[in-house]
Amino acid sequence: MKNKILTLVVLGFTAGVVLAGCQDKGEKNSKLTLDSLAQAGVDSQAVKTTYSEDWQNFKNVSEQKIQNNEDSIAAFKEKMKKSGKKVKAGYKKEVANLEETNRQMKKKLAEYKDDGKNTWADFKAGFNRDMDKLGKAVKDLTSDND
């Protein structure tokens, strides 16, 4: 009988120590969580500011590229006025396609809505890829006839 009582006392004491230890960790974790959340709020604001600056820089650079494409196409069209009908006919469709693609890129940039960091990264990568293709096509077209 003494063994059973002693065993129960030891088990009760052990359970009390374990529960007390868990409670301290829980309080520490909750304090850390509150501190982490407060820090995340500060970090979140910094991320929003950085994102906003990145978006404005990206938009400005992209608008400049679009404008450069428009200028190159206009200069090429002006140069084409001086050339023969066969040359004009050959480039007319290509120029129209490039102008349409340039307008679509401008529209795509203007209509972009912020849907999160991942969406922004995907948009930026895709837009840059398309702009590079368009820029290369404009350059190839305008330099072919120089």
Q: What string of pLDDT tens digits covers the 146 residues of the chain?
A: 767 776 766 666 676 666 666 654 444 555 555 566 556 555 666 666 777 788 889 999 999 999 999 999 898 888 888 877 777 777 888 889 999 999 999 999 999 887 777 788 888 999 999 999 999 998 888 776 54
* 3-class SS letters over the chain: CHHHHHHHHHHHHHHHHHHHHHHHHHHHHHHHHHHHHHHHHHHHHHHHHHHHHHHHHHHHHHHHHHHHHHHHHHHHHHHHHCCCHHHHHHHHHHHHHHHHHHHHHHHHHHHCCCCCHHHHHHHHHHHHHHHHHHHHHHHHHHHHCC
Which domain, by its residues, includes 22?
2-144
How far is Cα 111 from Cα 123, in angstroms, rounded to an integer? 11
Query: Which two three-digit tokens encode residue 98?
Result: 């490039």
Residue 64, pLDDT score: 95
**CB 87 within 8 Å of CB 80:** yes
Q: What is the number of structural domains in the chain?
A: 1
**CB 63 within 8 Å of CB 109:** yes
Q: What is the CA radius of gyration of the chain?
A: 33
Question: Using CB atoms within 10 A of its CB, is residue 102 exposed (0-12), middle (13-18) or buried (19+)?
Answer: buried
Residue 44, pLDDT score: 64
Residue 120, pLDDT score: 84
Residue 42, pLDDT score: 55
Residue 41, pLDDT score: 58
Residue 6, pLDDT score: 62
Residue 99, pLDDT score: 92
pTM: 0.62
